[in-house]
Structure formats: structure tokens, C-alpha cells
Amino acid sequence: MTRTGRYLLDNQRTEAGERFDAFATLFDPTTFRHLDGLGVGPGWRCWEAGAGGTSVVSWLAKKVGPTGKVVATDIDISRLTGAARPPVEVRVHDIGAEQPPAEGFDLVHARLVLVHVPERERALRSMVQALRPGGRLLLEDADPALQPLPCPDEHGPEQQLANRLRHGFRTLLADRGADLSYGRRLPRLLREAGLRGVEADAQFPLTSPACAALESATVRQIRADLVAAGLATDEDIDRHLANVASGGMDLATAPMISAWGRKA
């Protein structure tokens, strides 16, 4: 992330840990499949940019082993300190404003990061710069505009309320510089950055306990912002949280688009 003060979802909030756990459940299998496909193994030097939580960092550490290195960076490393032991190095780093923490990486990976970074073009250049020739870049980001609804099957008042609150969330994100249609552009952006062999796919969780946990944690975390902006009332939010807790709603996330390529 960047030190702009505009980031809506502060990593130090209690709900942030719940969000990271939900993201790990929803998206780690996809991320690990792609990383395996890129050949991550013993001795690799990896940069996990905007790491936030530890699930991917820990997986990479096991793969690269004692002869490799994993540099995990974020502007807020409070949730990364437990992973800071060889081969993992944890650093405070602003991906949108600072030079790469090193160069010559075999892999650079960022998940659900650049969509929130107003300086995302500079950040992408930084990640490509950090790769060695032949190194791999894997970017995974959401595309909320591609599927903006938590309840695509809007068949009742509970679903209508959920979708209205999600619209408010999107408004808050856009006001802070998020690019809500960023994910779909990743393949083109990687090609324009000079990467070879670019491919992409998407993961779209439609309903699961983790989707519900993510929805609840997110709404609780941005509650004050929604109310202050006049986008919802406390009564709206209480009713929605009760609806989510009832377990009877099919709650989706925005698709996560994964794109990868190789530096020439």
C-alpha cells in the first residue's frame, strides 16, 4: 500500500485480521496454484509486495527453503512481524512512492494491492524493475466493476440492502483513488511493460462461509465511513449484519483476476 492516508481498510483494525483470514480461505488455493505453475522452488528470491498477512509469505518461505529469500513489504507490517525469520525479511515499504527493496528477484507477487494504490503505474514499473531477466511477475487484483454486487441474485429486501451497502463501499473506495476496473487490464498492462508469455484467469467466489465472513468484517470496518458519508444509517448496517449472520444469504466477492508473465 501507500502512505497517502487514503486507504480505507486499515490493517491495524481488528476486522483486518478477519478479512485476511477470509482472503486466505477464498484465494490462497488459486494463488498457490499459479505460484507452483511458475516453478517457485528452492533458492528462489521472492518479493511479496503489499503482503498484509502471512499466508502467502509463509508458503513462499517453505518453497524457497534456507537457500532462498522472501522479502515481505507493506506500509504497515504489524501483521507480518511473526513471519520475520529466515528466509523471510520484513520491511516497511511504500510501493507507490519508493524504489524496489532490492533487484534481481526471481519472483515478484502482489495480491489485492494495486487496485487500492493511486500510484499504481509507478508501482507496476517498480515491480518489473525488481525482476531479474527471466524473472516472473504475478499480479492478482480485484475488478469490482466487473461484478459489483454481493448478491447477484437480488430476489428480496435483504439482498437489495446488501447491494446498496456494497454500492456505498465502492463509492468510498473510488473517492480514495481505487481503480474499480483495474483487474481486467492486468494482461494488457503486463504486455505493455514488456513481459513475455502473459496469461491470465479469474477466480469468482459466489457463496461460502468465507464470503460471509469477509462481508461482515468489511462492513463493520467501514461502518463509520458509510454513516459519515450519508451512504447508510446505523440501522441499515445493523439489519444487514443480522441478515449476514442468519446464514441464509448467498454472498459473492468481486472476481480476482490473476495475470502473470516473464521479464525478457
pLDDT in tens, 176-235: 999 999 999 999 999 999 999 999 999 999 999 999 999 999 999 999 999 999 999 999
Instruction: Give residue 7's pLDDT band: very low, low, confident or very high (50, 70, 90).
Output: low
From residue 77, alpha-carbon distances to 66, 137, 216, 257 in Å are 22, 22, 24, 25
HSE-up of 41 (CA within 13 Å, CB side)?
3
pLDDT of 2: 39
Is residue 3's pLDDT more than 50? no
pTM of the model: 0.94
User: All 3 cell numbers of residue 197?
Assistant: 508469455
pLDDT in tens, 45-87: 999 999 988 999 999 999 999 999 999 999 999 889 889 999 9
pLDDT of 213: 97
Rounded Cα–Cα distance for residues 149 and 165 (Å): 10
Is residue 131's pLDDT more than 90? yes
Degrees, nearest 5: CA angle 155-142-47: 155
From residue 169, alpha-carbon distances to 90, 135, 139, 165, 254 in Å are 31, 36, 23, 6, 12
From residue 195, alpha-carbon distances to 49, 89, 201 in Å are 18, 27, 17
Unique residue bearing C-alpha cell 534456507: 66
For 237, residues 6+ apart whose C-beta sits below 8 A from its C-beta are 165, 219, 223, 226, 227
Residue range 244-263: average pLDDT? Answer: 96
